[in-house]
């Protein structure tokens, strides 16, 4: 952007419950519509009143959203609907130019559009919703896992039952190189950078993951995260894990502001040679 030109500030709100790469991708697109992205995280009370109780608390959802590399500012306890009063405070106090939401309908319990006022004011813009993932879908996967584990417990020979649920667990997500590029940082480490390596499953990316990645990054100049394969995770945590498969887990980790690079399918054993090879 040219110097002296007013920076465009955009606002996107949401519940961001069990934050996933669909949310991250929405915020990535929102950021591209302006220079600074302000995110309103809807309060627990407002979610209960409009959708039913969230799984994560305000504090956890806030930590997850703040950890995303495209987010510049957060507004905690945002309302579910853009009311006249809240819209005024967005324009006047927060200096927001545009209010953004996904292209899926967002209706209030009375059937009206939550963004009607913003649209009327000519300050509304839309981004594409990411197909194949939602908080409801993730909760569904967890419930399926619990149901399956229970059923297998009560069966002496569980093999047939197992294959049914494995089919049902297949995610709708299609991993493409384009998506990985969109989420990546283009930069490798500087020649003298201290590279920090951390590995794990990073399944169901949560506030604890954000915190540990932040601390790991503070130990050096460049943070490389190794994500274990689905096979390794399942060997160590049991056959129902991970809930999110390798590519989904990789995108969640890549979306975190403290992460510089990921290994998509890292070995269990760490070697220095491995890290050198990556940046050769
Ligand atoms: N969003 C998206 N793609 C998804 C899920 C959400 O683009 N797969 C967008 C929504 O359109 C919205 C923002 O992310 O602009 C926040 O969504 P949220 O309020 O958390 O609710 P939902 O749309 O219901 O998302 P989910 O079904 O995952 O709870």
User: What domain range includes position 117?
Assistant: 9-127
Task: Give the separation between CA 14 and CA 42, rounded to whole angstroms.
Answer: 6
The pTM for the full model equals 0.90
Which of 13, 18, 21, 22 has most ligand 1 atoms within 8 Å of CB, for mutation?
22
* Centre of ligand 1 from the C-alpha of residue 15, in Å: 8
Cβ neighbors of 91 (< 8 A, separation 6 or more) are 123
Nearest residue by C-alpha to atom 7 in ligand 1: 129
Distance from the CA of 181 to the center of ligand 1, in angstroms?
Answer: 21
For residue 252, the CA-to-ligand 1 centroid distance in Å is 15
d(Cα 203, Cα 232) in Å, to the nearest integer?
12
Average pLDDT over residues 259-278: 89
Q: Both 253 and 218 in a single domain?
A: yes
- Check whether residue 54 and residue 146 sit in a common domain: no
Residue appearing with tokens 């540990």: 212
> For residue 51, is pLDDT > 70?
yes
For ligand 1, atom 16, which residue shows the shortest CA distance? 14
Report the pLDDT averaged over residues 43-50: 96
* Residue 117 within any structural domain of the chain: yes
pLDDT at 167: 46
User: For the segment 209-223, what is each residue's pLDDT rounded down to a tens digit?
Assistant: 999 999 999 999 999
Q: Looking at the 3D structure of the chain, how many domains does it have?
A: 3
My answer on whether 109 and 207 are in the same domain is no
pLDDT at position 86 over 90 = yes
- 178 & 165 share domain: no
ipTM of the complex: 0.92
Domain shared by 21 and 122, yes or no? yes
Query: Which pLDDT does position 184 carry in this prediction?
Result: 96
17 Cβ inside 6 Å of ligand 1: yes
Q: Are 169 and 141 in contact (CB under 8 A)?
A: yes
Determine how many CB atoms are found less than 10 A away from the CB of residue 53: 8
**Cβ–ligand 1 contact at 16 (below 6 Å):** yes
2 found inside a domain: no
Among 25-34, 81-90, 270-279, name the one with the lowest average pLDDT. 270-279
Asked whether 65 and 30 are in contact (CB, 8 A), the reply is no
Q: What is the mean pLDDT of the chain?
A: 91
| CB neighbour burial string for 70-94, b if at least 16 within 10 angstroms, e if fewer | bbeebbeebbbbbeeebbeebbeee
Q: Does 148 lie in the same domain as 120?
A: no
Report the CATH number that the domain containing residue 273 is assigned in CATH. Answer: 3.40.50.620
Ligand 1 near 54 CB (within 6 A): no
93-152: pLDDT as tens digits: 999 999 999 998 888 889 899 999 999 999 999 999 998 899 989 998 888 888 877 777
Q: What is the pLDDT of residues 149-187, one digit of tens each?
A: 777 777 655 555 544 444 445 677 788 999 999 999 988
- The CB of 29 under 6 Å from ligand 1? The reply is no
């Amino acid at each position: 952007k040219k110097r002296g030109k007013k920076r465009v500030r955009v606002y996107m709100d949401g519940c961001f419950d069990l934050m996933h790469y669909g949310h991250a991708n929405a915020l990535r697109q929102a950021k591209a519509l302006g220079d600074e992205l302000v995110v309103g995280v809807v309060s627990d009370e407002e979610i209960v009143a409009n959708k039913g109780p969230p799984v994560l608390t305000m504090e956890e959802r806030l930590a997850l959203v703040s950890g995303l590399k495209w987010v510049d500012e957060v507004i905690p306890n945002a309302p579910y609907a853009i009311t006249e009063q809240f819209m005024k405070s967005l324009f006047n106090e927060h200096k927001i130019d545009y209010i953004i939401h996904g292209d899926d309908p967002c209706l209030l319990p009375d059937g009206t559009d939550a963004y009607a006022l913003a649209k009327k004011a000519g300050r509304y813009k839309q981004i594409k919703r990411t197909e194949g993932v939602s908080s409801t879908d993730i909760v569904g996967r967890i419930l399926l896992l619990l149901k399956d584990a229970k059923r297998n417990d009560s069966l002496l020979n569980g093999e047939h039952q197992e294959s049914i649920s494995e089919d049902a667990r297949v995610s709708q997500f299609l991993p493409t190189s384009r998506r990985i590029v969109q989420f990546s940082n283009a930069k490798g480490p500087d020649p003298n950078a201290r590279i920090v390596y951390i590995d794990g499953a990073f399944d169901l990316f949560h506030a604890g993951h954000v915190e540990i990645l932040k601390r790991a990054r503070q130990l050096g100049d460049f943070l490389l995260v190794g994500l274990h394969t689905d096979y390794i995770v399942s060997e160590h945590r049991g056959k129902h894990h991970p809930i999110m498969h390798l590519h989904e887990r990789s995108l969640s980790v890549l979306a975190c502001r403290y992460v510089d690079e990921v290994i998509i399918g890292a070995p269990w054993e760490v070697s220095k040679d491995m890290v050198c090879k990556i940046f050769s």
